Structures are given as C-alpha cells and as structure tokens.
C-alpha cells in the first residue's frame, strides 16, 4: 500500500514539473498582463484627448520571460506621482485651456479669454492618483490566484 501512495505522489510531482515550464505558464501570465492593461486603461482619466489612456502598452519580454505593462506618457508620470503648486517658468502667466480644441491648438488670436482659456499666475498641484501602485497589488493577487488554480488543476489531473 505504501508503494502505491509513493507512486501517485511521484507522478503528481512529475506532472507539476512538466506543467510549470515557461511555455506552459505563459498563457496564464499573458492573461493576467492583459487584464492588468484593461484595468489600468479604465482607471486612467481621459483628460482632453484620451491620449494618456491610449499610451498603455503590453510588451512580451524577450529575456527572462513575462510581460511588461507600460505607459511612456509624461502626463501619466504626473498623474501617478502628483505635482506641487507652481507658477509659470518663463512667462508672466500660465495658459489654461478650458476645452479640447483650445488645448490642441494652443493660444491664438481667435480664442476668447474666459470662454476658451484663462491666464493665471499660479496653479495648484495635481494630487497623486497612484493608479499603478494600487494596480500592482491587485495584479500580484490576480497572478497568485490564477497560478494556484492552475497548480490545483495539474495535481487533480
């Protein structure tokens, strides 16, 4: 009876060994990466253009395996980390557009002050949203759950 129990334990270990290779676990990691991508896109504010949302990308790493979910936008850095209150660096006033077309075109004489834009000496900072920091915790938990499910499936089969 002891030999049969050892035989089943050894066969389950062999199944685990065969099932926990990079090739076998890659679809699980990819699924978690794309779920993370979707969550980050939904949590990122649209702003005037929605470009910050569109800048999220998923890349498969060539060395070491895994996936990288990234946003190279400068705006995303400021949303994640926040900014301090500040004034203009080189001019007397800061140009603040009030709608998308004023933001995309920049200032020109066809714009109406108060309707399309306003000028100010100082602006308050952006509060840090910590979108990525919060998602890291959720992604780690999602990955652990998916891998536990996969390992239980391997052992049961």
Residue 50 has a pLDDT of 85
22-43 vs 131-156: helix axis angle to the nearest 10?
A: 150
pTM of the model as a whole: 0.78
Torsion (CA) 148, 149, 155, 157 in degrees, nearest 10: -170
HSE at residue 90, side-chain half, CA atoms within 13 A, is 0
| Euclidean distance between CA atoms 50 and 44, whole angstroms | 9
**Spatial contact of 53 and 46, defined as CB atoms under 8 Å apart:** yes
Q: Both tokens of residue 12?
A: 């389950």
Question: Could you count the other beta carbons within 10 Å of the beta carbon of residue 144?
Answer: 11
> Which two tokens mark 31?
């699924």
**Tokens encoding 2:** 């002891």
- Predicted confidence at residue 100, as pLDDT, reads 86
Contacting residues for 123 by C-beta, under 8 A, at least 6 apart: 85, 86, 87, 94, 96
Alpha helices in the chain (DSSP H): 2-19, 22-43, 51-54, 74-81, 100-105, 131-156
- The pLDDT tens digits along the chain (157 residues) read 455 666 688 888 888 899 899 999 999 999 999 999 999 999 999 987 789 999 999 999 988 789 999 999 999 999 999 999 988 889 899 999 998 889 888 889 999 999 999 999 998 888 999 999 999 999 999 999 999 999 999 988 7
**E strand or H helix at 121:** none
Residue-level pLDDT at 47: 82
């Amino acid at each position: 009876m002891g030999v049969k129990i050892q035989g089943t334990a050894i066969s389950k270990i062999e199944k685990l060994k065969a099932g926990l290779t990079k090739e076998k676990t890659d679809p699980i990691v990819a699924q978690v990466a794309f779920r993370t991508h979707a969550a980050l896109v939904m949590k990122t504010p649209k702003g005037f253009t929605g470009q910050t949302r569109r800048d999220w990308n998923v890349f498969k790493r060539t060395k070491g395996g895994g996936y990288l979910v990234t946003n190279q936008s400068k705006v995303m850095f400021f949303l994640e980390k926040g900014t301090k209150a500040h004034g203009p660096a080189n001019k007397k006033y800061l140009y603040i557009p009030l709608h998308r077309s004023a933001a995309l075109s920049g200032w020109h004489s066809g714009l109406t002050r108060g309707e399309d834009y306003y000028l100010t000496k100082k602006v308050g900072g952006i509060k840090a949203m910590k979108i990525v920091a919060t998602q890291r915790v959720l992604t780690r938990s999602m990955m652990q759950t998916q891998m536990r499910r996969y390992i239980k499936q391997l052992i049961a089969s």
